[in-house]
Amino acid sequence: MSTRRRPEIASRKQPQQARSSELVASILQAAAQVLAEEGAARFTTARVAEKAGVSVGSIYQYFPNKASILFRLQIDEWMQTTKMLRNILEDASTPYLERLHAVVHAFLRSECEEAEVRGALNDAAPLYRDSPEARQARAEGDQMVEAFMMEALPKASAASRKLAGDLIFTTLSTVGNSFSQTRRTRAEIKAYADTMADMFCAYLQALRQD
């Protein structure tokens, strides 16, 4: 019985010159537009080439197939999300509860603004869920949460901090994904984020009093 071959997801090469970098950027921008407009099921290299105004051969210089384009889009999304969370959570000059409020607001806004692309990338997730890049992204996220919870709950046990961090950030991710599936106004996002952030903050404050 033959096994299905896993598609290659790594990029073929990295652009070395400004012109090449611009080409790759145009390809990725076009790919994100195709993904948002047509979803993962109808995402093809040919459609990306058409949208970018380049030949399919130009795309193949850098990406061996559509899976590798999707993977690059996902890596970029991971990096942007990680940077956003790090900038907020590691700002020691801001009280930890204010940081938690800011994270909830920023995350929900991001989820809603990029809902179409994120949803399509989730459809393609089995291609790269177990990749080294995915494991690294999860590890970096875990480290940020662990450091934040250490600051928020300095007297709690490691197990209690882990439970609290998992509950807060898993809930944020799950609810954010569900909430963003419906088009939301800025007022709706703010109201929802305010309520969720207040709930998380009340939970942390209760844990600090135990």
Angle formed at CA 30 by CA 27 and CA 33, multiple of 5 degrees: 150
- Cα separations in angstroms, 38 against 42, 81, 99, 105, 187: 6, 23, 36, 28, 28
**Cα(129)–Cα(133) distance, integer angstroms:** 9
- pTM for this prediction: 0.78
8-state DSSP, 157: -
**Whole-number Cα distances in Å, 113 to 70, 93, 108, 131:** 19, 28, 9, 26
Residue 50, pLDDT score: 94
Q: What is the pLDDT of residue 27?
A: 94
- pLDDT tens-digit readout, 10-67: 555 565 566 678 899 999 999 989 988 887 778 899 999 999 999 999 999 899 888 8
pLDDT value of residue 66: 86
pLDDT at 31 (0 to 100): 92
Q: How far apart are CA 189 and CA 21, in angstroms?
A: 35
Q: Nearest CA to 137 among 83, 185, 179?
A: 83
Q: Which is higher by pLDDT, 9 or 89? A: 89
Q: Which residues of 11-27 are buried (b: 16+ CB within 10 A; e: fewer)?
A: beeeeeeeeeeebbebb
pLDDT band at 6 (very low <50, low <70, confident <90, very high): very low
Q: For all residues of the chain together, what is the average pLDDT?
A: 86
